[in-house]
């Protein structure tokens, strides 16, 4: 299917690693121009080099997205470099384990800035350009908002916010023809996931236990599979899809775990 994304400038926050990198690679393969926004310059440059090696156009800017002014500056960098914005993928974040019993106000609020506030700010600052292009927004979210996980109150709250903003923006932006959807991720193999598994005393056993509960294929979702759905949602081929929470999770959330 031709998605007609050629030369479309798509911001991908957290696009240097993991799911974000998977999305950026798919967009580049579809001849779009991913613009990576990430906190680590070396990671950004490495991702750009990897994507550009195939002949694709790709750009990056360094931004610590927990800093509100950095969100505005990141969008300004995209506009200065490319002159347009055709899509936004809000992806950056981390499951930081701020729980109810041992957490604190300070850590809870810090987590919301890591995982939710910049979703709003990037969309806010990109909106004038998205209105011009009639672009689309894709918010990457997590199953934790729907299933709970235990020990991660702040991250679950942030993802509940991501889901709510998806529906709210879909309504608010109808008048501009801007579509807003979310991809709900369950278990996807990323560097952060690998780091967490490796920190356990029985990583191989734990990984086998987790994957055995994923109905479709008893395997994790790949970043590329999430990227494929993101590319579709950003494209005109999903022209009548908005306000949707789309689960790309091998049936993890909704299918019977006894399968």
Measured distance between the N- and C-terminal CA atoms of the chain, rounded to whole angstroms: 32
* 3-class secondary-structure state, position 183: strand
21 contacts: CB under 8 Å, gap ≥ 6: 15, 47, 50, 223
Range 52-56 contact pairs with CB under 8 angstroms and sequence separation of 24 or more: 54/28, 54/29, 56/28, 56/29, 56/31
Q: Which of 105, 155, 193, 252 is catalytic?
A: 155
Tell me if residue 155 is catalytic. yes
Phi, psi of 32 (to 5 degrees): -80, 175
Scanning the structure block, which residue is given the tokens 């694709």?
Answer: 56
For residue 168, the number of C-alpha atoms closer than 13 Å in the C-beta half-sphere is 9
Burial annotation 39-56 (CB, 10 A radius, 16+ → b, else e)? beeebbeebbebbeeeeb
Cα gap 60→149, rounded to integer Å: 33
Cα gap 186→87, rounded to integer Å: 24
**Residues acting as catalytic residues:** 155
């Amino acid at each position: 299917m031709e998605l007609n994304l050629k030369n479309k400038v798509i911001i991908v926050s957290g696009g240097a690693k993991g799911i974000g990198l998977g999305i950026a690679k798919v967009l580049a393969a579809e001849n779009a121009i991913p613009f990576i926004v990430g906190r680590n310059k070396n990671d950004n440059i490495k991702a750009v080099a990897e994507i550009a090696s195939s002949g694709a156009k790709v750009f990056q800017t360094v931004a610590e997205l927990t800093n509100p002014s950095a969100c505005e500056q990141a969008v300004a960098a995209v506009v200065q470099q490319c002159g347009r914005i055709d899509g936004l993928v809000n992806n950056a974040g981390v499951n930081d384990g701020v729980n109810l019993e041992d957490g604190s106000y300070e850590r809870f609020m810090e987590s919301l800035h890591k995982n939710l506030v910049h979703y709003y700010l990037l969309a806010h600052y990109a909106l004038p350009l998205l209105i011009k292009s009639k672009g689309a927004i894709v918010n990457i979210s997590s199953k934790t908002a729907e299933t709970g996980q235990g020990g991660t109150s702040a991250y679950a709250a942030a993802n509940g916010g991501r889901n709510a903003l998806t529906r709210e923006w879909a309504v608010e932006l109808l008048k501009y023809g801007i579509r807003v959807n979310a991809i709900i991720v369950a278990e996807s193999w990323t560097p952060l996931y690998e780091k967490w598994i490796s920190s356990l005393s029985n990583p191989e056993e734990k990984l086998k236990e987790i994957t055995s509960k994923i109905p479709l294929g008893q395997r994790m979702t790949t970043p590329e599979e999430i990227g494929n759905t993101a590319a579709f949602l950003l494209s005109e081929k999903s022209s009548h899809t908005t306000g949707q929470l789309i689960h790309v999770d091998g049936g993890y959330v909704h299918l019977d775990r006894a399968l």
